[in-house]
Amino acid sequence: MIAVIGSGIVGSLIAREINKYIEDVFIFEARNGIGTGVTKGNSGIIHGGYDDTPGSLRSELCYKGNKLYDEISQELSVEVKRVGSHVVALNEDELKAIDELEERAIQNGVKEYEILDKVELLEMEPNLNKSALKSFYCPIAGVTEPWEVAMQATKSVEINGGKVLKNKKLVEVKKKDNKFELFFEDGSSYIADLVINVAGLYADEVAKLFGDEVPYIFPVKGEYYLLGKDIKYANAVIFPTPSKLTKGCLVVPTVDGGYLAGPTAHGVKSKQDLSTTQEGLLEVREKSLRLVPTLDFSRNVIKTFAGLRPETKEKDFHIDVGGGNVIHVSGIRSPGLTAAPAIAKYVVEYLIQEKLHINLQKRKNYIGQIEKVPHLVEKDYDYWERVIQEDPDAGEMICYCNKITKKEIKEAIKNGARTLDDVKFATRASFGECQGSFCIPKILKIISEETGLKPEEVLQNEKGSWIINSEVRAI
């Protein structure tokens, strides 16, 4: 058995890649949801690969990963929108950064870019600060929903005979001959022939369980605003010129038509500190308004949130074989979600096959194409008329903000969703303007009806996060 520790975008895509060769793949996830670690709280950008340090593993895997997203989108039925990105110089001082980016793009072998002058830029982005002088435009940059990629990849693993186990926190490891005995917090244990540690913020701690040292991981928080869909702010991702530390506070059009403003970048003590702060959000407002002055933070805010970057002093990905048949995939900071499909191939084709000399043969019975119930807005009226004839649930709207039907929610539950957050991230229900004020009772009821759980047993996300504690009239 091959064990993958962690169901983030990187772990789930690695498991899927291994599963193309071997059926017996297990994903062990500490939390009660798929892709709910670093993968849940980030900018969702598929970067162009032009700006990472030349010669680093990050630069190699970012550009390759970007290219692989068309295949991922098609095979996993996930949305990838190649909206492009601009790095914008707003004054003479910042123009130098555009030249430096071009230099880096050349060194990184990225050809898909253009340098746009003020007129070209403002024609493409009319809401931009009018003092913009130039942009480094990358048409292959895009956006996706990383948790959706993780969920569809884990679904693919299950369809192809693998197992995805939640609430399985790895706490102890014993070496047994050439194998590992893995012990989990719930008291269970499994024997694995090969282990891939893809534990995100905790990959350094998991490596220690195997007696290995990888670069120490410290959390760097990024705070965001999510803005609504009703005002058009930008067509592409808008970056400021980068600092030595970060790509800066951005304006990002999301896959479903909203916008993100952020993130900040400040070190925090705890790997669980996902709080937003007054200072952090003020910083986001100031910096993003400098790029797009029309951003409406008084009436158009849907929510604020934060994510934690798994940073290391080395600043590069650390992906290598440990002591025995274990591979540590650690330090997967940005652009980790862009690089994820390429990291998966690097692990399987280079580390497993070449470095560990494990000979793998592609499976003949592997199912590559994974379907998904389409969102209402993705299909036309005729399509829905036909589908509703067959299944009236397709005509019952549950989330009015994002137009999510009962059919989509039931399908998510059929695929393993058990909590409100599982349904939210699988379907976008309760993700919209009202943040679930109207649809949460209905979703709770559907989860209860479909799973047999009592309404008071249905959770928001992790253990103990019940919504109601006794019978209520609406449910």
User: What positions carry a catalytic annotation?
Assistant: 47
**198 counts as binding ligand FAD under rule CB under 6 A:** yes
Closest residue by Cα to residue 316 from 210, 202, 214, 207:
214
Residue in 307, 432, 436, 455 binding ligand FAD, rule: CB under 6 A: 307
Q: Minimum CB separation from ligand FAD for residue 187, in Å?
A: 14
**333 counts as binding ligand FAD under rule CB under 6 A:** yes
- The beta strand positions in 29-141, using DSSP E, are 45-46, 80-81, 85-89, 114-117, 134-138
Cα(325)–Cα(175) distance, integer angstroms: 10
- The beta strand positions in 50-197, using DSSP E, are 80-81, 85-89, 114-117, 134-138, 142-144, 163-165, 170-176, 179-184, 189-192, 194-197
**86 counts as binding ligand FAD under rule CB under 6 A:** no
Q: What share of the chain is helix, strand, coil (3-state, %, to 5)?
A: 35, 20, 45
CA distances from 101 to 64, 171, 247, 462 (A): 18, 43, 12, 42
**121 counts as binding ligand FAD under rule CB under 6 A:** no
Residues 137-166 that bind ligand FAD (CB under 6 A): 146
Stretch that binds ligand FAD, among 22-30, 80-88, 273-281, 385-393 (CB under 6 A): 22-30
Cα(382)–Cα(463) distance, integer angstroms: 43
**Residue type for position 334:** S
Residue in 43, 152, 405, 415 binding ligand FAD, rule: CB under 6 A: 43
Smaller CB separation from ligand FAD, 215 or 307: 307
Overall residue count recorded for the chain in this entry: 475
CA 89 to chain centre: 28
Residue in 69, 136, 202, 305 binding ligand FAD, rule: CB under 6 A: 202
Smaller CB separation from ligand FAD, 62 or 443: 62
Smaller CB separation from ligand FAD, 309 or 428: 309
**10 counts as binding ligand FAD under rule CB under 6 A:** yes
Smaller CB separation from ligand FAD, 8 or 258: 8
Residue in 2, 4, 5, 151 binding ligand FAD, rule: CB under 6 A: 5
**169 counts as binding ligand FAD under rule CB under 6 A:** yes
**236 counts as binding ligand FAD under rule CB under 6 A:** no
Cα(132)–Cα(119) distance, integer angstroms: 9
Partners of 419 in beta bridges: none
Provide the binding-site residues for ligand FAD, judged by CB under 6 A: 5-11, 28-31, 36-39, 41-45, 47, 146, 168-170, 198-202, 206, 222, 263, 307-309, 332-338
